[in-house]
Amino acid sequence: KNEVEQSPQNLTAQEGEFITINCSYSVGISALHWLQQHPGGGIVSLFMLSSGKKKHGRLIATINIQEKHSSLHITASHPRDSAVYICAASEALFGNEKLTFGTGTRLTIIP
């Protein structure tokens, strides 16, 4: 059974700071997902990656398959980035199946 751990659990930063959230997993995976969850519950998929690095706007996700570790970075953070960020790992063939989730990192950006 895959174990997915995130750190930190909570993170408070000033607007404009560079943010890093870390995720580690215990067994080999086909894909790693980064998700954003706002109060009220809705989840938005930010990245799905199986190797290397992806960038979308101010968000960057990296993964190191050998070290079983992924990071989510936010540059020039803004109060609207405040949310819970969750990483989730898939061991299944298609990479988007049977996800095992971390418990999330609650990010608060102060103006």
Q: Residues near 47 by Cβ (< 8 Å), separated by ≥ 6?
A: 33, 34, 54, 56, 59, 61, 72
Residue from 7, 12, 45, 108 that binds another protein (CB under 8 A)?
45
* CB of 37 or CB of 71, closer to another protein: 37
Whether 76 contacts 58, CB under 8 Å: yes
Smallest separation (angstroms) from another protein to the CB of 58 = 18
| Site for another protein contains 104 (CB under 8 A) | yes
| Site for another protein contains 62 (CB under 8 A) | no
CB-based burial, 43-55: b 16+ in 10 Å, e otherwise: eeebbbbeeeeee
Which residues make beta-bridge pairs with 52? 63
Smallest separation (angstroms) from another protein to the CB of 60 = 16
Considering only the stretches 12-20, 59-67, 75-83, 86-94, report the one whose residues sit in contact with another protein under the rule CB under 8 A. 86-94
For residue 20 the two structure tokens come to 């890093």
| Binding interface with another protein (CB under 8 A) | 4, 33, 35, 40-45, 47-48, 86, 88, 92, 94-104
